[in-house]
Amino acid sequence: MSTVGAYLRLARAGWILVREGVVAAMPGDQLEGMPRFGWRVAKLMSRRRSARRDRPERLAQAVNRLGPSYVKLGQFLATRPDVVGHEMAHDLASLQDRMDTFPDAQARAAIESSLGQPVEKLFVAFDGPVAAASIAQVHEARVSDDNAELKRVAVKVIRPGVRRRFQNDLESYFLAAHLQERLLPSTRRLKPVKVAETLAQVTKIEMDLRLEAAAISELHENTRGDPGFRVPAVDWQRTGRDVMTLEWVDGTKMSNIEALRDAGHDLEALARTLIQSFLRHTLRDGFFHADMHPGNLFVEGDGTIVAVDFGITGRIGRKERHFLAEILYGFITRDFRRVAEVHFEAGYVPAHHDVAAFAQALRAIGEPIHGQSAETISMARLLTLLFEVTELFDMQTRPELLLLQKTMVVVEGVARTLDPHFNMWKTAEPVVSDWIAANLGPRGVLNDAREGLGALVSLARQAPDLAVRAERLSREIDTMAQNGLRFDRETADAIGKAEARYSRSGRLALWVIAAILVVIAWQIS
């Protein structure tokens, strides 16, 4: 029944997107055959009032009708322009995750269930909600510290029933991804099923506030000595699966430019601090806040930037950091051959492609940049063009790099709203050069040698166990070569049952689709 329900929920989502004019707003003039016919039918079935709205407004209206899980889906897909296209990603990025609040009684019940204590014992005072999103809402409260002094805290509480709702909708997302891979082979490079799996993992993390608290705690430690930037501290005694307590942040939202100016803050200095902090987190720590829009950034009275809402974070390994640094350095020095070689060395571009041809494509990106003033050159735009070119050379999707690119676009955009003449390259130079000196220069060679020596020592310790495994594997390969690969009866039965189940589900899906089409035809008749 879950498969049938997934088909029905998917059909409902498609119907709402059609009726709100989202499908009609897509560029369909270049389509041919059945896709063009479907696009024309969608235009005819759109509500008349949707024609008065632009595409972002239509999208927002449709997503709000579909529910909170689709808001989260839209925000997630905004980080994947390789999947939905850059224009649609831009539209999705504007979706506001603002929902109606739920009653205090339900919030109190969730807190008591998660922490095992009454709210009155945990907090001196517990006030009503101050903000609500698709997954949780935030309350203001007060606690007593060790010196018997009251301090304000922010309490984030999971929305009741949200896990079940998301689980049901995730079934529909996986169904859509499997259908896309089956019916549109050209899109398999984008790994839609993998995208759905990533979304499922992201939502699981967001719905366990202990994991978000752990991310906040890690970033809090990483940024403890950073100038002009900090992360709020976690109150672990009042944090559980369904509730998270943080120190209260008093400050001005970075989206309120006029208030920042009236408070006497140096906007140019704030822009520099923001970019340099983000680059430190990325290059130095390999762990960064991946949702740094102005609504998640506050400026305290002394000019310190405080980040909140860590539902989405990103990690990049040492190899990816090397990759990013060498790419940026190669474009700056116009060494396009080296940039191309870095892509091949990292295994991002298949080896059957020609390095020289790829370097030529990169030159088409890099040459227009040189000769421009630094203020007009966007690092985020450079990465966007880079990923567009790599698609022509079958570069496999790298979600961590795309999330980094999306975040850099947002952060650089915030910096330019603070300072319209913001020089990204000059601002980034101290952080990037320090990292290159430490990791790609002589110090980097020494660090690599030290890590290599550690790996050799670890390998030597495992040598006896590896030898036993190698001997066992050799015997099994010899046996397989002599007797062939054989399935036991249980394996053969399992394969047969899976095939039968697949055939039944396929037939069932056809009947469900047919029934849905009949219902739709009846509604519009």
Is there a domain that residue 204 lies in? no
Is there a domain that residue 206 lies in? no
- What pLDDT score does 242 carry? 94
Residues 496 and 349 in one domain: no
pTM: 0.71
Residues 273 and 382 in one domain: yes
Which two three-digit tokens encode residue 467? Answer: 């030898």
Please state the length of the chain: 525
Domain-terminating residue out of 156, 183, 199: 199
- What pLDDT score does 274 carry? 94
Residues 429 and 315 in one domain: yes
Residues 177 and 260 in one domain: no
Phi, psi of 297 (to 5 degrees): -125, 130
> Could you tell me if 101 and 129 are in contact, meaning their C-beta atoms sit under 8 angstroms apart?
yes
Q: Which residues contact 323 (CB under 8 A, 6 or more apart)?
A: 342, 346, 348, 401
Report, as ranges of residue numbers, the positions in the chain whose pLDDT lies below 50. 1, 518-519, 521-525
Is there a domain that residue 86 lies in? yes
Residues 428 and 307 in one domain: yes
Residues 282 and 369 in one domain: yes
DSSP class per residue in 263-297: TT--HHHHHHHHHHHHHIIIIIISEEES---GGGE
Residues 321 and 412 in one domain: yes
- What pLDDT score does 204 carry? 79
Is there a domain that residue 174 lies in? yes
Residues 174 and 56 in one domain: yes
> Could you tell me if 98 and 134 are in contact, meaning their C-beta atoms sit under 8 angstroms apart?
no
Compute how many other C-beta atoms are within 10 angstroms of the C-beta atom of residue 254: 27
Mean per-residue pLDDT over the chain, rounded: 78
Tell me the residue range of the domain where 287 lies. 253-440
- What pLDDT score does 115 carry? 94
- What pLDDT score does 109 carry? 94
Exposure of 62 in the CB half-sphere (CA atoms within 13 A): 28
- What pLDDT score does 1 carry? 44
> Could you tell me if 203 and 215 are in contact, meaning their C-beta atoms sit under 8 angstroms apart?
no
Residues 74 and 173 in one domain: yes
Q: How far apart are CA 15 and CA 143, in angstroms?
A: 48
Residues 191 and 327 in one domain: no
Q: Which residues are catalytic?
A: 291
Structural domains of the chain, count: 3
State the Rg of the chain over Cα.
Answer: 27
- What pLDDT score does 463 carry? 67
Phi, psi of 143 (to 5 degrees): -130, 165
Residues 383 and 493 in one domain: no
- What pLDDT score does 524 carry? 47
Is there a domain that residue 262 lies in? yes
Q: How far apart are CA 297 and CA 307, in angstroms?
A: 5
